[in-house]
């Protein structure tokens, strides 16, 4: 009896243990499914941490002073086809093969980069791929995808593709899907393109104002998290993106067009390496136009580099700076005389020569008009020999050595070092062994036009959020007075003669009467400059940089302008007054009337107070 009882207990214990083990196995299996296999059974893959996706904000616009778009983001889309969606493979692939010809023909019509046959071959090859990847090895979370077009398509093209047979059924039936990637466009094309700047494929500013004001233009990124929605994974926004601000510039699209047209005509005529032109309002410092054109291999011109803020030897435009320093220090007078020799003037181990070959005696005023290197070398040695540091200190006090801040990335500081010997000092007098950017040269001459008040040129007026002004930029004074009043009047008289002295002025007119910078409609005062280029360790006698910088109308200046042209090639004679001076004259005659300051009455201008 006891044995039977023990057997019964043993059997019950065994059954209980088996039931308990089965129950434990069920619990383990439930936990395993719940925590480790849930997403696999539901057809998804949950990562160990939430998957985040950045939501790109709408990039702000760049506008001219009248609110016209200079750079804007417009809708653009990359087109993909997910060839592994189940609907395409059901029923013996009948849906896919029923429509492949029609969608191939439609795609070749909308996106003519490929023929219908090429689209059919490309899509079919991706469709037949078994491992979930395209031939290029790309892979999407829900299977393979195929990029139907290498570039972005417009909104209109997107709508046309969506209405093709099969694709009109939507993603789950056709696999068609679009990735939104806005395109940065410049409605005015090349106008001030380098100054406005470009953006990288990542959407970040790479140059120009796009780079300088990246934080304002970009806005604040949004954020979305990947969550399970309706049986499939979707990215759900958790933080909305904040769109970027708009940048309102000082540029004027019409003046940009006037400036580029004039400069391009000069470059095409002279076949120069590059040219730069800047137009600035005298009293405010607002840059109304800026143009940089480089010669392409096919002889055309386009914006590649921002020469406006790149340092170069200024040549004879520096003579005005030297003259102001010596006059203001009381070292010379405007009527002082200097002997000029057609064979040149030898000083120590250097020979100074002039472009105009004759023996004569010139006053300082006439020497500026004819742009005599010999006279200015003598003047600066007479004034500052063995006192070179005082000359540079004087330039500092005039503001010319101060770095002119610019919103353009990469703007270079001026290079004006204390010369170590008298020869270097003498060459500095007429613009060698020193380096300034065209914008810095223009800033100095604009100060002369502005009655001695030097102001900082600027490109951005305000930053806007819709109609709300976030930040505003105003005129900034660098030097309230560059020199004494009497000095300023003497310098202005010399710049007048450069353009209006028909015997000596380098920017007056040709012997047969053709005007250079002379204009009855917009009287100009300014200075020419011609500098030999330094290449391969020496100055090249037949390679030059030409410049004209001035202001207009001379009696009541409203604008200052500089034109610089590098290495003209199609003729042997170099004439900065004719080539660069005529560019400034063309700009002046159109800009002065367009601005609304003046009206034309006969052959002259009549001043009108701008409303």
pLDDT per residue as tens digits for the range 462-511? 999 999 999 999 999 999 999 999 999 999 999 999 999 999 999 999 98
Sequence-ordered strand ranges (E) for 125-211: 146-147, 176-180, 183-185
Within the chain, what is the greatest distance between any pair of CA atoms?
150
Phi first, then psi: give them for residue 280, nearest 5 degrees: -135, 140
Q: What is the pTM of this model?
A: 0.82
The count of C-alpha atoms lying within 13 angstroms of the C-alpha of 317, restricted to the half-sphere facing its C-beta, is 37
Over 80: is that where the pLDDT of 129 sits?
A: no
CB neighbour list of residue 366: distance below 8 Å, 6 or more residues apart = 497, 501, 504
- Helix or strand (DSSP H, E) at 454: strand 454-455
Q: Taking residues 292-320, report their average pLDDT.
A: 96
Return the structure tokens found at 42: 């539901």
Alpha carbon distance 191, 159 (integer Å): 32
Nearest to 459 by CA among 229, 261, 281: 281
CA angle 562, 568, 569 (to 5 degrees): 175
CATH 3.30.70.2110 residue window(s) in the chain? 76-181
Rounded alpha-carbon distances, angstroms, from residue 359 to 15, 158, 348, 356, 373:
130, 75, 21, 10, 13
Proportion of the chain above pLDDT 70, given as a percent: 88
> What's the pLDDT at 340?
94
Quick one: pLDDT band at residue 607, thresholds 50, 70, 90? low
Over 60: is that where the pLDDT of 231 sits?
A: no
Return the structure tokens found at 599: 């009206």
> What's the pLDDT at 52?
75
Return the structure tokens found at 454: 């030097």
Q: Burial, 452: exposed, middle or buried (Cβ in 10 Å; 0-12, 13-18, 19+)?
A: buried
CATH 3.40.710.10 residue window(s) in the chain? 253-607
CA angle 291, 293, 299 (to 5 degrees): 155
Proportion of the chain above pLDDT 90, given as a percent: 64
Return the structure tokens found at 278: 């800047």
DSSP 518-530: --SSS--EEEEEE
Q: Taking residues 520-535, report their average pLDDT.
A: 93
Q: Comparing 11 with 303, which gets the higher pLDDT? A: 303
CATH 3.90.1310.10 residue window(s) in the chain? 53-74+186-249
CATH: 3.40.50.620, 2.60.40.1120, 3.40.50.410, 3.30.70.2110. Which one for 76-181? 3.30.70.2110
CATH code assigned to 253-607: 3.40.710.10
Q: Taking residues 388-397, report their average pLDDT.
A: 96
Q: Taking residues 589-601, report their average pLDDT.
A: 80
Give CA torsion, residues 384, 390, 391, 393, to 10 deg.
Answer: 180
Q: Which CATH class is domain 53-74+186-249?
A: alpha beta
pLDDT in tens, 308-331: 999 999 999 999 999 999 999 999
> What's the pLDDT at 355?
85
Q: Burial, 67: exposed, middle or buried (Cβ in 10 Å; 0-12, 13-18, 19+)?
A: exposed
Over 70: is that where the pLDDT of 132 sits?
A: no
Quick one: pLDDT band at residue 579, thresholds 50, 70, 90? very high
Asked if 277 and 562 touch (Cβ cutoff 8 Å), the reply is: yes
């Amino acid at each position: 009896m006891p044995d039977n009882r023990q057997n019964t207990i043993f059997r019950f214990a065994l059954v209980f243990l088996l039931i308990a083990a089965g129950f434990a196995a069920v619990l383990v299996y439930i936990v395993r499914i719940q925590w480790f296999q849930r997403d696999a059974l539901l057809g998804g893959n949950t990562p160990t941490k939430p998957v985040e996706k950045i939501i790109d904000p709408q990039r702000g616009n760049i506008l001219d002073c009248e609110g016209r778009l200079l750079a804007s983001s417009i809708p653009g889309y990359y087109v993909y086809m997910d060839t592994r969606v189940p609907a395409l493979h059901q029923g013996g692939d009948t849906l896919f093969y029923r429509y492949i010809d029609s969608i191939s023909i439609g795609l070749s019509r909308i996106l003519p980069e490929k023929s219908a046959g090429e689209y059919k071959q490309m899509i079919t090859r991706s469709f037949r791929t078994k491992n979930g990847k395209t031939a290029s090895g790309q892979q999407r979370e829900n299977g393979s995808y195929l990029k139907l077009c290498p570039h972005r398509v417009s909104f209109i093209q997107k709508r046309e593709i969506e209405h093709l047979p099969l694709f009109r059924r939507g993603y789950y039936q056709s696999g068609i899907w679009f990735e939104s990637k806005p395109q940065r466009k410049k409605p005015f094309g090349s106008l001030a393109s380098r100054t406005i700047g470009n953006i990288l494929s990542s959407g970040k500013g790479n140059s120009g104002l796009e780079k300088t004001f990246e934080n304002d233009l970009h806005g604040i990124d949004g954020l979305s998290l990947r969550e399970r929605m309706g049986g499939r994974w979707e990215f759900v926004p958790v933080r909305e993106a904040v769109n970027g601000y708009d940048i309102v510039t000082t540029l004027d699209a019409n003046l940009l067009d006037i400036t580029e047209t004039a400069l391009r005509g000069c470059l095409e005529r002279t076949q120069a390496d590059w040219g730069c032109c800047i137009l600035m309002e005298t009293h405010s410092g607002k840059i109304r136009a800026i143009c940089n054109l480089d010669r392409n291999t096919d002889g055309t011109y386009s914006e590649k580099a921002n020469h406006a803020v790149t340092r170069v030897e200024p040549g004879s435009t520096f003579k005005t700076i030297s003259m102001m320093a010596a006059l203001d220090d009381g070292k010379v007078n405007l009527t002082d005389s200097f002997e000029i020799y057609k064979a040149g003037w030898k000083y120590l181990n250097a020979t100074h020569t002039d472009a105009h070959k004759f023996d004569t005696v010139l006053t300082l005023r006439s020497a500026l008009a004819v742009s005599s290197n010999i006279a200015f070398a003598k003047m600066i040695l007479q004034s500052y020999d063995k006192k070179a540091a005082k000359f540079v200190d004087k330039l500092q006090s005039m503001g010319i050595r101060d770095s002119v801040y610019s919103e353009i990335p990469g703007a270079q500081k001026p290079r004006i070092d204390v010369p170590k010997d008298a020869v270097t000092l003498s060459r500095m007098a007429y613009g060698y062994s020193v380096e300034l950017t065209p914008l810095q040269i223009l800033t100095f001459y604009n100060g002369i036009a502005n009655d001695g008040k030097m102001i900082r040129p600027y490109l951005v007026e305000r930053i806007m959020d819709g109609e709300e002004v976030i930040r505003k930029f105003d005129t900034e004074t660098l030097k309230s007075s560059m020199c004494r009043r009497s000095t300023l009047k003497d310098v202005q008289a010399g710049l007048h003669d450069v353009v209006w002295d028909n015997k000596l002025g380098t920017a007056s007119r040709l012997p047969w009467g053709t005007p250079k910078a002379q204009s009855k409609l917009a009287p100009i005062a300014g200075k020419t400059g011609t500098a030999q280029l330094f290449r391969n360790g020496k100055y090249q006698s037949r390679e030059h940089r030409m410049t004209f910088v001035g202001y207009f109308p001379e009696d009541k200046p409203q604008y200052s302008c500089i034109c610089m042209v590098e290495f003209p090639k199609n003729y042997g004679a170099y004439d900065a007054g004719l080539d660069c001076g005529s560019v400034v004259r063309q700009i002046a005659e159109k800009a002065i009337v367009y601005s609304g300051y003046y009206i034309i009455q006969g052959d002259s201008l009549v001043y009108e107070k701008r409303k």
